[in-house]
Structure 1
Amino acid sequence: MKHSEYYVTDENIISNIVEKQKRYFYEQKTKSKAVRVQALKDLQSMIKSNEEVIMEALKKDLNKSEIEAYASEIGILLEEIRFTLKHLDGWMKSKKAKTVMTHIGSKGYIIPEPYGVTLIIAPWNYPFQLAISPLIGAIAAGNTAIIKPSELTPNVSRVMEELLAKTFDPSFVTVIEGAVETTQILLKQPLDYIFFTGSVNVGKVIMQEAGKQLIPVTLELGGKSPCIVHRDANVELAAKRIMFGKSMNAGQTCVAPDYLLVHKDVKVQLIAQLQKAVTQFYGEDALTSGRYGRIVSERHFDRLIEFLQDGKAVIGGNYNEETLQIAPTVLDEVKWDSSVMQDEIFGPILPLIEYESVDEVVSAVHQKAKPLALYLFSESEEVQQQIINTVSFGGGCINDTIMHLATPHLPFGGVGESGIGQYHGEASFKTFSHFKSVLKQTTKFDFAFKYPSDNQSLKTIKKFLK
């Protein structure tokens, strides 16, 4: 079901919304601690009192089960708000900075201030969480916010628009629904910050458009996140945690394990344990399980089905065109130049390539763009440190998958092609804040040597600046 009747494609309407938010911001209505705290509490209350409505929309758009919808789209947000409310006072305070000898008598301060009108462009895979999570940071930092949800999840988009319209003045927080045309109009507006979550290719377009006005951006992108299973791994536990990370939301997760690098000594054992995990999670047929999601659209489904030709399905491989579901699948006999190994998969297909040495793994991962996530299963501290110290990636886990994303204590973001900037917890506050440096100088005395006069001034300055 499409809700295109709600799309906003009139440039005058969008410009008017931005102008109202500019005015609201410059009237200082977002900046006090009391306003920020109340707005976060209102957001918290909105989520709690509409859990069933949100989960129903997620079910319609992505067939998300209640437990998955709550854990990944609702509960994680409530924890983020709780954490932000607890620490906001400290984050907002100006910090004193040390001064140097040439600045005796002065005091330095670093003052966090909001940017102004922020645009949050949200993706379809976690359509509620990945819109509201950056909103928490935008509000906490004192900004106004415009959210542009994905048109591929129209039910969540509509629910979000309705709920936020009831909760906030649109001059403070609002949702603008639409497709590509709406985004293009938004990117032409005099915004103060853009936060985008989505694909690498679209991220490049966002950055290019933002660059025309020198609008700062955060880009939360993706890439091929490797999952390494070394010979000394706890294979049974590794299989369960790998399949959990890969099958959540039918693999449509930016930090899902994208491909498996498995030591040849444990390959057969790992495949058997991965199959065991699939059965444990979803029964004998995941496609008939009420706990398993679907692919978001026919276009994405068709793209994924083609990958099944790139190897031998040792687990899964079956699919249902009517429900747009693909069973959790592990492909063996995959080559590095196969199409499934070129771009981020973003689905429940897991190619498997075996290796013999850790150096081989490091070399292989270095051949690709820096990934958003990396996962290593090994009991060896030496192997763990070798991977951490030699491979660049946004973030990741040792002996687990995706869980680094679910804590406000760890900043989340990519590196290189997998993203620019970080958020979650204090990192969200920092992302949506400009840190203004101010030097407060004394008028009780003055140093004559800093002014241009004679050679004696130069000698004095050289004594201080050496």
Structure 2
Amino acid sequence: MEPLVASPYSSSETPDLQQLFKRQQARSEALRREDAGPRAVRLRKLGEWIEQNRTAIQEALYTDFRKPATETDVTEIWPSQTELKHTLKHLKQWTSIQPVDTPLALMGARGWKQAEPKGVCLIMAPWNYPFYLAIDPLISALAAGNCAIIKPSEMTPSVAALLSRMAREVFDPAEVAVVEGDKEVATKLLKLPFDHIFFTGSPQVGKIVMRAAAEHLTSVTLELGGKSPVIVDETADLRDAAEKIVWGKGINAGQTCVAPDYLLVHEAVQEPLLAEMQAVVQRFYNATGQGVATSDSFARIVNQHHFERVAGMLEDAQQHGATVAMGGHVDARQRFIEPTVLLNPAADSRVMQEEIFGPLLPIRTFRTLMQATDEVNSRPRPLALYVFTQNKENQRYLLRNIPAGGAAVNETILQLAHPELPFGGAGNSGIGRAHGYAGFLAFSNEKSVLKQRTGLTGIKSFYPPYTPKVQRMVGWLLRWL
């Protein structure tokens, strides 16, 4: 990829991966014995570094794909800080022993759960939110007491180099290290027997990661993607819906795993919704009237390959009969694609078959909720479902009948920012959960412990030999306990 601006950061040399992995294995044994205190110290140091390097983070994101500084603050820095603060607030509670109730049949025993670190973890971060999606799982890994190796995407080299600098300045490499490089480096990393792999990216690469993890029976968290639908019924507040849909699609130029991917709108409100969306795009990205391409609030496609992919989808949609109702302008020199609405694309067109990951929004209409539900459910399960309605029964129907990794009602994107809501996919859109306590558990082995008293216990009544008395007691057990 050719960056829009020359990178001010220099890439570090790839370390000896075997040696680095062994160092972290050795260090992980010491971390296993630590309580919440030292973990909190590491997390605070990370938070301080983020605060002190806000400008550097903004510059790196702008260098890689001209991401606006304010958007970097909102989508990369703020959620990282939110996750840190939430984790520090609850860390002592999460790491403490969690008692559980004991059934009467096990009278005399008591049980509890205690979280223990998995060990050495691999975090494979994507290019679309290259800072936040490296830092967020790192916070969970450190909170759980693990060592971690981060593999950032080679498609965002400035952020990758910045993450390397962060690791060197904040952490002992035996605890946290960043390894830069291309697919070859990623392949070498996947051959190592990590204790957990946290991958964010496409379903296609996710399958490769899962196959590699299977060789070592390594647990995985796969945060993938898919085609996240937006359903707008005839009762929705159209102005409000238009603002939230355009915002959710416009962030990062549509290069977001939970971005609205396609819109299903009740046929009675398609035209007024489209008019509202056109007005919102002008307010958000063309306030000066000089065109969206001149806006300082709209990012660019990350590299030439992805620009050509998204531009090709636009062309394919039109060839399959879709009408460009808004936008449609592209500029290969800037890797710019205007926010574009496509009306009535064919079901077999690429924009309706592939995850778009760009600022194209196909719109199709429906008459009944069953029609909309059937269309969504004809595809693999999405990472996010967005429902815009003021009818509670319609809300219940759609949430109950459409499986998805997560959902938002009368909003887009923000379910990702709620630290108490576990985030993850279903089926093709992912495995496992992240953020908050769910992220802590993803990097932990939740050890179950039963402690029995010595001497007489209830279960001893069922020891052999299996006399008639024992058989009667077993019958009583099955009937009443």
TM-score normalised per structure 1: 0.97
- Report the counterpart of residue 349 of structure 2 in structure 1: 338
Q: Which runs of 5+ in 2 are unaligned?
A: none
The CA deviation at 1:464 is 2.4
Secondary structure of the equivalent of 2:198? strand
Give the aligned partner of residue 464 of structure 1.
Answer: 477
The alpha-carbon deviation at position 168 of structure 1 amounts to 0.4
Q: What residue is the counterpart of 2:88 in the other structure?
A: 85
Q: Percent identity?
A: 42
Q: What are structure 1's unaligned runs of at least 5 residues? A: none
Alpha-carbon contact 1:21-1:171 (below 8 Å) kept: yes
Deviates more, 1:451-460 or 1:437-446: 451-460
Residues in 2 aligned to 1:124 and 1:454: alpha-carbon distance in whole angstroms: 64
* Matching of residue 199 in structure 1 with residue 210 in structure 2: no
For 1:458 and 1:301, the matched residues in 2 are separated by 73
Match of 1:286 in 2: 292
The partner residue of 1:126 within 129, 132, 139 is 129
Q: CA separation in 1, counterparts of 2:98 and 2:309?
A: 51
Contact map agreement 1:210 1:216 (CA 8 A) in 2: yes
Corresponding residue to 1:359 among 357, 364, 370: 370
Aligned to 1:264, which of 267, 276, 301? 267
User: Does the aligned pair in 1 maintain the 2:163–2:178 contact within 8 Å?
Assistant: yes
Q: 8 Å contact 2:107–2:457 — kept in the other structure? A: no
| Counterpart among 178, 203, 208 of residue 175 in structure 1 | 178
Q: Matches of 1:28 and 1:377 in 2, distance apart? A: 47
Are 1:314 and 2:314 an aligned pair? no
Residue 154 of structure 2 aligns to a residue whose secondary structure is: coil
Asked if 2 retains the 8 angstrom alpha-carbon contact of 1:316 and 1:327, the reply is yes
Deviation at 1:73? 0.3
Look up the match of 2:462: 450
Measured in 2, the distance between the counterparts of 1:446 and 1:354 equals 66
Which residues of 2 match residues 116-155 of structure 1 at below 5 A?
A: 116-155=119-158
Aligned twin of 2:306? 300
Which residue is 1:185 aligned to? 188
Structure 2 contact 404–426 (Cα < 8 Å) conserved: yes
Distance 2:225 2:306 in 1: 16
Partner of 1:382: 393
> How does 1:372-451 map onto structure 2 within 5 Å?
372-446=383-457, 448-451=460-463
Instruction: Return the letter of the residue paired with 1:427.
Output: A
**DSSP-derived class of the 1:413 partner:** coil
DSSP 3-state at the match of 1:44: helix
Conserved in 1, the CA contact under 8 Å of 2:147 and 2:175? Answer: yes
| Partners of 2:111 and 2:420 in 1: CA distance | 28
CA distance in 2, matches of 1:352, 1:114: 46
2:61, 2:72 within 8 Å by CA — same for their partners in 1? yes
State the one-letter code of the partner of 1:375: Y
Contact 2:155 2:302 in 1 (8 A): yes
**Cα deviations across residues 398-431 of structure 1 (Å, max 9, x unaligned)?**
1111111111011111101000111111111111
Helix, strand or coil at the partner of 2:249: helix
TM-score by length of 2: 0.94
Residues 343-376 of structure 1: CA distance to partner in whole angstroms, max 9, x if unpaired?
A: 1000000011111111100111110000000111
Alpha-carbon distance in 2 for matches of 1:5, 1:157: 8
How big is each residue's C-alpha offset from its partner over 1:294-345, in whole Å with a ceiling of 9 and x where there is no partner? 0011010001111112122111100111110101000113111111110100
CA distance 1:7–1:206, change in 2 (3 Å): farther
Aligned residues of 1:7 and 1:182 also touching (Cα < 8 A): no
Contact kept in structure 1, 2:285 and 2:297, CA below 8 Å: yes
3-state SS in 2 of match to 1:362: helix
Q: 1:351 to 1:454 in 2, by over 3 A?
A: closer
Output the aligned Cα RMSD: 1.5
Counterparts of 1:103 and 1:226, CA distance in 2: 49
> What CA distance in whole angstroms lies between the structure 2 residues aligned with 1:269 and 1:446?
72
